[in-house]
Amino acid sequence: MKKIFSILSSILILISFSTLTSCSDKESDKVEIGAITFTPEAGVVMADDTITFSCETEGVTFYYVFDNVRISAENFPKYEGRTNGTTKADSCIIDKNHTVYVVAQDAAGNLSKRYSASYSISGTENTALYFGNPSNATTDSNATDYLTNYLLEEATYTVSFNNETHNPNWVGWHLCSTDLGSGRYDGDFMQNPKLPDEFYKVRHSDYTNGNFDRGHMCPNADRNSNDEDSKGTFYTTNIVPQTANNNQKVWATLENYERTLVSSGANEAYIFSGPYYDDELKATDKNGEEVTYLSGKTTPTDGTYIKVPTSTWKIIIAFESGEEDRTRITTEDTTVIAVQIPNRHNVGSDWKSYTCTIDEIETLTGYDFFAALPDDVEDALEATLYSE
């Protein structure tokens, strides 16, 4: 009997050793696919630019998809050709703002990790997106930030709109002397029909008795060369709640100054503005009461509240008028203004008291302004603090 037990033990040991060896061999046979590289790298590109993929591992096949983060790496081959699925190719064409997800597969079927790169389309000259899309705002309903970073391109300015705060994230526009005139619009602010059906469309009446001004981001006076352009600034997607002392005094003074920079025709400007929300510092209404949402109108539970920013910021770069703006901007001859102004009832009246750098606003917001400029010029301008 002992002899039988001894034989059985030996067999079990051999089986166990064989099993362990087999597992080890399978692990050692696993091929590691190298990293995927995108050319050009993520950033601002021109419409219809081609992005090519390459891999450290030779002889691989690539699968890519636009904006669909839900497909895991192991499913990229499986989802080829499906609606919103992957495409087998070693390059793609960028025709609008996209995040591109790519997986490589070798001849044995081994798959790489999933790699991604985000691209924003540079706009045409003298439009807000000429230097890039600061937040990669999109109209793609498959995008993960579709509801909070929706791209609205109006006739004379551009908006990234947020359906959670019910305010713009940012508004951008180009300004020159021909934008200025005597155009008028005397009606109420309007709901924006361009917003998707699932978005709440803020009404003029949502601000009534809310103790805040309807504060233009792109000002009416920057777009009054004719009545139609003036009216176009009165969509509620172009306003945020501002205290009267902010909107009518310090903010208005800066708006007047930006127009003096271009009124003679000698200069042109690119401008961005927007709200910022600080969880530790609330805005105050005209009565000095600290608030988070427009008072007396809506609540954060009904889905239609309007959040009140704790500050509003603006960025202006102004330089000599001309063409091919990207190639002409220099650190020596460009006026750079960046401000962050508290949205409080007792805010000061001098905008120069609230100057900061573009870098500081980028840190606050997470946006990337003027990305299409050469890096050395962009870096120098964004570190500049305004001085007269």
CA–CA dist 118, 43 (Å, integer): 6
What single DSSP character describes residue 323? S
Q: Integer distance in angstroms from the first to the last C-alpha of the chain?
A: 102
- Which among 353, 339, 201 has a CA at the least distance from the CA of 276? 339
Are the CB atoms for 350 and 341 separated by under 8 Å? no
Nearest to 275 by CA among 248, 229, 238: 238
What are the tokens at 365?
């917001």
Query: 345 catalytic, yes or no?
Result: no
Please give the angle made by the CA atoms of 241, 162 and 46, to the nearest 5 degrees: 120
The CA distances from residue 91 to 26, 119, 179, 331, 342, in Å, are: 33, 14, 41, 36, 47
Among 141, 146, 43, 145, CA closest to 84: 141
Residues 6+ positions from 248 with CB-CB distance below 8 Å? 213
Question: Residue 89 CB: number of other CB atoms within 10 A?
Answer: 14
Three-state DSSP class for residue 100: strand
d(CA 245, CA 349): 8
- Active-site annotation holder among 98, 166, 174, 216: 216
Residues acting as catalytic residues: 216
